Amino acid sequence: MANNLDTSSVTFVACQECDLLHRHATLPPKGVARCVRCGAFLYRQAPSDSNERALALALTACILFVIANIYPIFGLEVQGTHTSTTLFGAVESLWDDNSRAVATLVFFTTIFVPAAELIGLTWVLVVLRSGSQGWGAVPILHFIERVKPWGMVEVFLLGVLVSLVKLAHIAIIEPGMALFTFGALMVFIAASAASFDADAAWVQLEAVN
Partner 1 sequence: MNPAPITARIGLLACEVCRLVSRAPSTGDVAHCPRCGAALHTRKPASLVRTWAFLIAAMILYVPANVLPIMDTSSLFGTQNDTILSGIAFLWTSGSYVLAMVVFFASVLVPLLKMIALAILAGSVQMGSVRYRRTRTRLYRLIEFAGRWSMLDIYVVTILVALVQVSTLASIHAGPGAAAFGAVVVLTMFSATSFDPRLIWDTQEEAS
- Interface residues with partner 1 (CB under 8 A) are 1-3, 5, 7, 12-14, 16-21, 37-40, 73, 76, 78-79, 81, 83-85, 89-94, 97, 99, 101-103, 105-106, 109-110, 138, 141-142, 145, 149-150, 152, 155-156, 158-160, 162-163, 165-167, 169-171, 198-199, 202, 205-206
Q: Give me the least distance between CB of 53 and partner 1, in Å please.
A: 21
CB of 77 to partner 1, least distance (A): 10
DSSP bridge pairs for 41: 34
Integer Rg of the chain from CA: 22
Question: Helices 100-107 & 87-96, crossing angle to 10 degrees?
Answer: 160
Shorter beta-carbon distance to partner 1: residue 13 or 59: 13
Q: Please, what is the minimum distance in Å from the beta carbon of residue 29 to partner 1? A: 21
Closest to partner 1 by CB, 58 or 91:
91
Contact 97, 190 (CB under 8 A): no
Q: Which is nearer to partner 1, 51 or 109 (CB)?
A: 109
Q: How far apart are CA 152 and CA 208, in angstroms?
A: 33
The enclosing H or E element of 173 equals: strand 172-175
Q: How many of the other CB atoms lie within 10 Å of CB of 137? A: 23
Q: Read out DSSP for 61-84?
A: HHHHHHHHHHS-SEEEEETTEEEE
> Whose Cβ is closer to partner 1: residue 59's or residue 92's?
92
